[in-house]
Structure 1
């Protein structure tokens, strides 16, 4: 993959950091939004398989290199506003892509008036998280983030960043049995899963991620939509994704087998192929 070009822009009261990949004169521009606790690095494996496209990837406020927003809460409305203003400022009319929590954010933004020719959702959150295949695990996560926010700041922040818990999360999501792939996934999570600015932003974003899903917005999104879902996703069961597809006026569902909520790590080339076919189809 060609070297990324780092940029910055003032959006929603924060100095947003974003990265530009691919040729500046590409015929297709995509703005990609990462998931909860991650940053732009998470979607780089997919971008590596789309060398012909210009891709812009911001770090969401409070994560990675982007500081928290000063004028907005870090809830779904705040993040949707950020994405809307970011795209209108740097790439109006771009195709919009969201992964996981990012799928909720971009869906809310498009349903709220963000103009885009097409929408791409990778591992979309197609049902309430507490009702997913691992609802019990989600409830434990609710307790975990609650403790992280309520304990004394130093202890709570340590709990939220400790590698032991990060590894448990990583093990819960990875499906590949390939040792090199598993090592890669764990390394990525170790590097980037604790890059949040502070525990208050983290908990606010977590509450947003488990309190909403794409079904709230699907019927109001009247642009061609690609859903790339996994048959072993523990966040949203594949049957729920099929139901979600029918909620959109114009949606196509691509199902990838043998993978869970980490399509962007475990099957990036397949995801890129689906995206390319969708954009050129």
Structure 2
């Protein structure tokens, strides 16, 4: 008979024991498509408890922001897998554009009865979606929080060449025979290279955790067509183009070493926002949600205290 190994695991746990008890998984149908979402209830409701709707980044799903949700036990957090990613189906009709994702947010909020006191949080590509939604729907949420926001055009500047190469990669994968194209998109080697490029921590266990998360969830997309459409949307828009319309309080949480959403661009974006606050986390890049969730949660908590419902 096998018995449990009494020795503690050599791998540290990156989630609290109470997170599972806060979690409820649900599904709804919106515009003919299936949407999976997760709700993390507060451990204890207080005067500071808010409902935060979280929009994840490109090729991610709700798992990516789990460490941030775990660090905010006093908040009610709702995290859908965007259509085309994770456990949600692609849009039943229409392209996967920033505008279509904005209509998804509107429909999702209406279905769940989320009112204007809802906090909207977007990470990376999710920052573009969230910012454009707020610009098109003033008063729908308050305030707005953007983590690693895409502050400038991806196809311009020093990172433009790498972005154009990525465009070719996704277009090629969409045009190749299905099996070959999917193998290219889900290549463990390519996913690992992307993960290595983004991770900045020197903690070997944390790097191993990050790579494991990307390996497990980075390839959970509905199909090649929706992935290409979403990628095109992610490099065709940015937050700065609607900054002047974001008249509500906005928190930007930026990484000092972010090579995708660079720090100079974050400072320029902050200057464009009518009511913007920029918080910079040193030593981290585009993976704030994995590497420094506690610091991000601290900035979020303080910001929400200053901007109560």
TM range, smaller chain: over 0.9
Report the counterpart of residue 152 of structure 1 in structure 2: 177
* Structure 1 unaligned residues grouped into runs of 5+: none
Given the alignment of the two structures, is residue 164 of structure 1 paired with residue 189 of structure 2, yes or no? yes
* RMSD over equivalenced CA pairs, Å: 1.3
Determine if contact 1:132/1:235 at 8 Å carries over to the other structure: no
Residues 132/268 of structure 1: CA separation in 2 closer, same or farther (3 Å cut):
farther
| Distance in structure 2 (CA, Å) of the matches to 1:59 and 1:79 | 11
Once the two structures are TM-superposed, the CA of residue 212 in structure 1 deviates from its matched residue by 0.5
| Distance in structure 1 (CA, Å) of the matches to 2:31 and 2:299 | 33
Residue 79 of structure 1, aligned match among 91, 95, 101: 101
Residue 37 of structure 2, aligned match among 6, 18, 32: 18
What TM-score comes out, normalization by structure 1 length?
A: 0.97
Structure 1 stretches of 4+ with a deviation exceeding 6 A read none
| Distance in structure 2 (CA, Å) of the matches to 1:75 and 1:167 | 27
Which is further off, 10-19 or 242-251?
10-19
Residue 182 of structure 1, aligned match among 190, 207, 224: 207
Given the alignment of the two structures, is residue 92 of structure 1 paired with residue 115 of structure 2, yes or no? yes
Determine if contact 1:132/1:236 at 8 Å carries over to the other structure: no
| Distance in structure 2 (CA, Å) of the matches to 1:133 and 1:83 | 32
Which is further off, 53-62 or 134-143?
134-143
Given the alignment of the two structures, is residue 270 of structure 1 paired with residue 295 of structure 2, yes or no? yes
Describe how 1:212-231 pairs up with structure 2 within 5 A. 212-231=237-256
Describe how 1:114-153 pairs up with structure 2 within 5 A. 115-131=140-156, 133-153=158-178
Residue 258 of structure 2, aligned match among 228, 233, 244: 233
Residues 95/200 of structure 1: CA separation in 2 closer, same or farther (3 Å cut):
same
Once the two structures are TM-superposed, the CA of residue 132 in structure 1 deviates from its matched residue by 5.1
| Distance in structure 1 (CA, Å) of the matches to 2:198 and 2:164 | 16
Once the two structures are TM-superposed, the CA of residue 245 in structure 1 deviates from its matched residue by 0.7
Report the counterpart of residue 75 of structure 2 in structure 1: 53
Report the counterpart of residue 128 of structure 2 in structure 1: 104
**Equivalent pairs, count:** 281
| Distance in structure 1 (CA, Å) of the matches to 2:255 and 2:71 | 19
Report the counterpart of residue 8 of structure 1 in structure 2: 27
What TM-score comes out, normalization by structure 2 length?
A: 0.88
Partner-residue secondary structure (3-state), 1:217: helix
Partner-residue secondary structure (3-state), 1:131: coil
Structure whose alpha-carbon radius of gyration is higher: 2
| Distance in structure 2 (CA, Å) of the matches to 1:19 and 1:163 | 27
Determine if contact 1:37/1:194 at 8 Å carries over to the other structure: yes
Residues 133/53 of structure 1: CA separation in 2 closer, same or farther (3 Å cut):
farther
